Structure 1
Amino acid sequence: MTEQPSAGWLDGREHVLPVRIYYEDTDFTGVVYHANYVRYFERGRSDFLRLAGIRHAELQDQDAAFAIVRMALEFKRVARIDDALAVRTTYDSARGPRLFIGQQIFRGEDLICQAQVEAACIDLAGRPRKPPAGMLEQLRPYFA
């Protein structure tokens, strides 16, 4: 297990990122606003890559970035102010310029939200491209 407190930790092929719910994350009822789950998932994907040795700034230096091309969300329960959540992320596979990612948010044992994500590697002009040399090798140990 590799740990870095600000980036969560890797547990086998899964990344775990703790998230605390603050007042700013909620609507007037104290429930997490639905769009914020997308933000938590983004943090989970980015911190997974960081702990796997892949830095977004270095990708940009290689004329590469990622764009989300598909995201299917399923909301199971609500999260509320002061909840302690865990964003769990797996990078499942890659095909061409695409990465396939599974994500879940839990409060304890309760599944709050889950997502199936498809990201495409693009150049800085927005055109699809293969991921930079070595990046897939860094991710391969985590693929299903």
Structure 2
Amino acid sequence: MSSSHTATVKVRFYELDPYDHVNHVNYLRYFETARVEFLSELGFGLDVMKDRDLAIVVVELHARFTGQAKLHDVIEVTTEVGEASGAVSTWHQRMTLDDDPIAEIDIKAAFTSLEGKARRIPPEFLEKVSPSPIT
């Protein structure tokens, strides 16, 4: 199984701000969607997690915006898991437009029960991901 995932997003008109480029909040949505797709690819789709009384929640994030996207642009979002131990994993995501970086995000996420109590990362999740930073 791959330790990275790439998702594609096409910018829609309602995601634009008054300056005709994607509002920063929508970049966070794109990142979230890409993480959920990656989790599904790893066998940890939201339905599977819910059935196992598991959730993965963002507890910290740092975002950098270095470019902009506009209507109809097709963006690629690459997602990788970095360190993972105990209940916490780190994630790095990069968004590109025509191979040019436009945004990056570093996330710390925790596995929890559906009630919000910390849970150890499942061993099968750890087996499927390995640290490999985006270069």
TM over 0.5: yes
Query: 1:119 aligns to what?
Result: 109
Q: Which runs of 4+ in 1 moved over 6 A?
A: none
1:53 to 32, 43, 49: 43
- What is the distance in 2 between the residues matched to 1:110 and 1:133? 35
Query: 1:75 aligns to what?
Result: 65
AA at the equivalent of 1:121: F
How does the TM-score come out when normalised to structure 2? 0.90
Query: 1:143 aligns to what?
Result: 131
- What is the distance in 1 between the residues matched to 2:89 and 2:73? 30
Query: 1:7 aligns to what?
Result: none
Query: 1:100 aligns to what?
Result: 90
AA at the equivalent of 2:22: V
> Comparing 125-134 with 74-83, which one deviates more in the overlay?
125-134
SS of equivalent to 2:68: coil
CA deviation after TM superposition for structure 1 residue 43, in Å: 0.8
- What is the distance in 1 between the residues matched to 2:4 and 2:113? 27
- What is the distance in 1 between the residues matched to 2:65 and 2:10? 18
Unaligned runs of 5+ in 1: 1-9
Tell me the C-alpha RMSD between the 2 structures: 1.5
Query: 2:12 aligns to what?
Result: 22
SS of equivalent to 1:134: helix
Query: 1:128 aligns to what?
Result: 118
- Contact preservation (8 Å) 1:26, 1:80: yes
- Contact preservation (8 Å) 2:111, 2:119: yes
Q: Whose RCO is larger (CA < 8 A, sep 6+)?
A: 2
How does the TM-score come out when normalised to structure 1? 0.85
- What is the distance in 2 between the residues matched to 1:121 and 1:93? 13
- Contact preservation (8 Å) 2:58, 2:107: yes
Unaligned runs of 5+ in 2: none
Query: 1:6 aligns to what?
Result: none
- What is the distance in 1 between the residues matched to 2:91 and 2:61? 9
